[in-house]
């Protein structure tokens, strides 16, 4: 027991402390908000993509789809092109809004979230066109072979850099724009209008000088980089490309799930913190999988295969409490938690059992999601199942998220069930032991009352 207490002390010192501070950073909370705001668009866009790929999964439908849906494919696939195809733009605008709003509320500065959003979009668009410095002149790139027109690289859905590949650039440019906006307001480098002027007009003029500052800053930074043979977009893609490659390894995946559950064990919502950083990578990988890549950590990989029932992969544990637990406390808690658990919500278990700060259940809480993540990772990498190509709502019940997310791969649904079974087998001995412990305590408490 003393060794378990030392474990929690170590986790609090090495994980909870640093990550708790990170979670309080304004930019981290703004990224969380941006990620949540883009979820409806990624889901809607993905569902139209699934509709388009169904005949590939079920060839018997091909004739019917050719005669019906595919005649209007260019029309309804606009829902995909204008969501996943320009997702970086959504991310950038919402991040600028959220970040400005948080600064305004907590630092007491008169920042308009709308101005922050527009300045972020302005900075992002200035970073997108490609230029070269040749013979002492800076010119926009025109390359018919690579389909770069007047500096704008064109992909299947329009400007390529507005897609998921531009998410990280959008994040950085939003941060730069909002920080410059904050500097201007703090230093009072703004145009103040008389009180008689309507608020909307006054705020528009407040953004005038910050817009100049943002423009000059991006021009200077990007101009210097272009003279060095690169640009902001390419420079930012280097470190984030490294991180993306790191998350596409089994070891990288294990580190992610260790951190998520280490934070949970000491009372911090680990999924919210860690996946606020991981989601942009997962969305980028999702778009790459559509074009033929084979990334495991894409879309809702987490809830489709790993944390089935919620963080800790507790669906099997919850079923044990409902049907096998002899402790009155655990049995009642299980029955109250089973419906949320079917939709990957398990806060009642985490705080009710409790699992946090519970040395008897810490090990399966770590091991179950790591085991299920490993099974799904290698199933995808070995091409036993298809990678995820569509974003599903994270509360999707077991098997459904994997089936629809892969475009209708029945084997993906079976792997999701296998992950849940393996997680249950890991939880079982610990749950049984903990249940017996509580039964003994309840019996002793009953005898004392008598």
Q: Are residues 265 and 392 in the same domain?
A: yes
Max intra-chain CA distance, the chain: 96
Domain end point (choices 239, 262, 291): 239
Domain end point (choices 210, 239, 268): 239
**Looking at the domain assignment, is residue 37 inside a domain?**
no
**Looking at the domain assignment, is residue 127 inside a domain?**
yes
**Looking at the domain assignment, is residue 163 inside a domain?**
yes
Q: Which long-range contacts (CB under 8 A, 24 or more apart) does 274-279 make?
A: 275/35, 275/302, 276/28, 276/31, 276/32, 276/35, 277/31, 278/247, 279/35
**Looking at the domain assignment, is residue 21 inside a domain?**
no
pLDDT score of 267: 79
Domain end point (choices 209, 239, 269): 239
Q: Are residues 222 and 310 in the same domain?
A: no
**Looking at the domain assignment, is residue 49 inside a domain?**
no
**Looking at the domain assignment, is residue 434 inside a domain?**
yes
Distance from C-alpha of 259 to C-alpha of 262, rounded to nearest angstrom: 5
Q: Are residues 296 and 437 in the same domain?
A: yes
Query: pTM for this one?
Result: 0.89
Residue 61 exposed, middle or buried by CB count within 10 Å (0-12, 13-18, 19+): middle
Number of domains within the chain: 2
pLDDT score of 450: 46
Distance from C-alpha of 98 to C-alpha of 38, rounded to nearest angstrom: 13
Q: Are residues 290 and 374 in the same domain?
A: yes
Distance from C-alpha of 172 to C-alpha of 156, rounded to nearest angstrom: 25
Q: Are residues 359 and 384 in the same domain?
A: yes
pLDDT score of 11: 66
Q: Are residues 294 and 159 in the same domain?
A: no
Q: Are residues 262 and 231 in the same domain?
A: no
pLDDT score of 4: 56
Q: Are residues 116 and 190 in the same domain?
A: yes
Domain region containing 431: 249-445
Question: Per-residue confidence of the chain (450 residues) as pLDDT tens digits?
Answer: 555 566 667 766 766 667 667 778 899 899 989 988 998 999 999 999 999 988 887 888 899 999 999 999 999 999 999 999 999 999 999 999 999 999 999 999 989 999 999 999 999 999 999 999 998 999 999 998 889 999 999 987 778 999 999 999 999 999 999 999 999 999 998 887 777 677 677 777 888 999 999 999 999 999 999 999 999 999 998 888 888 899 999 999 999 999 999 889 887 888 888 998 899 999 999 999 999 999 999 999 999 999 999 999 999 999 999 999 999 999 999 999 999 999 999 988 998 999 988 888 999 999 999 999 999 999 999 999 999 999 999 899 999 999 999 999 999 999 999 999 999 999 999 999 999 999 998 888 775 554
Q: Are residues 177 and 264 in the same domain?
A: no
**Looking at the domain assignment, is residue 157 inside a domain?**
yes
Q: Are residues 156 and 94 in the same domain?
A: yes
Q: Are residues 407 and 427 in the same domain?
A: yes
How open is the CA angle 260-163-170, to the nearest 5 degrees? 65
Q: Are residues 227 and 311 in the same domain?
A: no
**Looking at the domain assignment, is residue 333 inside a domain?**
yes
């Amino acid at each position: 027991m003393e060794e378990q207490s030392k474990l929690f002390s170590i986790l609090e010192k090495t994980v909870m402390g640093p990550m708790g501070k990170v979670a309080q950073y304004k930019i981290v909370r703004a990224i969380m908000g941006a990620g949540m705001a883009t979820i409806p668009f990624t889901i809607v866009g993905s569902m139209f993509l699934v509709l388009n790929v169904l005949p590939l999964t079920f060839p018997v439908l091909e004739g019917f789809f050719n005669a019906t849906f595919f005649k209007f494919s260019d029309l309804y696939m606009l829902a995909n092109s204008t969501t996943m195809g320009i997702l970086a733009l959504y991310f950038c605008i919402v991040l600028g809004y959220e970040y400005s709003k948080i600064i305004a509320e907590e630092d007491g500065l008169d920042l308009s979230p709308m101005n922050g959003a527009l300045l972020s979009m302005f900075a992002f668009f200035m970073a997108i066109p490609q230029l070269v410095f040749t013979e002492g002149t800076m010119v926009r790139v025109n390359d018919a072979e690579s389909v770069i027109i007047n500096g704008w690289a064109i992909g299947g859905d329009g400007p390529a850099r507005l897609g998921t590949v531009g998410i990280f650039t959008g994040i950085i440019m939003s941060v730069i724009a909002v920080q410059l906006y904050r500097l201007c307001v703090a230093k009072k480098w703004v145009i103040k209008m008389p009180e008689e002027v309507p608020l909307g007009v006054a705020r528009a003029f407040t953004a005038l000088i910050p817009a100049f500052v943002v423009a000059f800053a991006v021009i200077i930074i990007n101009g210097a980089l272009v003279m060095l043979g690169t640009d902001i977009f390419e420079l930012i893609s280097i470190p984030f490309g490294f991180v993306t490659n790191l998350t596409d390894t089994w070891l990288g995946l294990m580190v992610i799930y260790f951190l998520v559950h280490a934070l949970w064990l000491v009372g911090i919502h680990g999924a919210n913190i860690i996946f606020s950083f991981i989601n942009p990578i997962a969305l980028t990988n999702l778009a790459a999988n559509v074009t033929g890549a084979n990334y495991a950590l894409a879309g809702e990989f987490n809830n489709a295969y790993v944390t089935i029932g919620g963080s800790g992969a507790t669906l099997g544990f919850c079923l044990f409490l409902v049907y096998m637990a002899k402790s009155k406390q655990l049995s009642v808690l299980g029955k109250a938690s089973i419906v949320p658990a079917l939709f990957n919500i398990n806060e009642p278990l985490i705080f009710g059992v409790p699992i946090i700060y519970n040395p008897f259940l810490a090990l399966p809480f770590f091991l179950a999601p790591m085991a299920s993540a490993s099974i799904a990772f290698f199933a995808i990498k070995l091409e036993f199942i298809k990678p995820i190509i569509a974003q599903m709502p994270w509360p999707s019940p077991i098997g459904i998220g994997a089936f629809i997310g892969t475009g209708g791969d029945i084997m993906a649904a079976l792997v999701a069930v296998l992950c849940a079974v393996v997680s249950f087998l890991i939880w079982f001995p610990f749950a049984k032991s903990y249940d017996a412990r509580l039964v003994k305590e309840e019996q002793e408490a009953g005898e004392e009352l008598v």
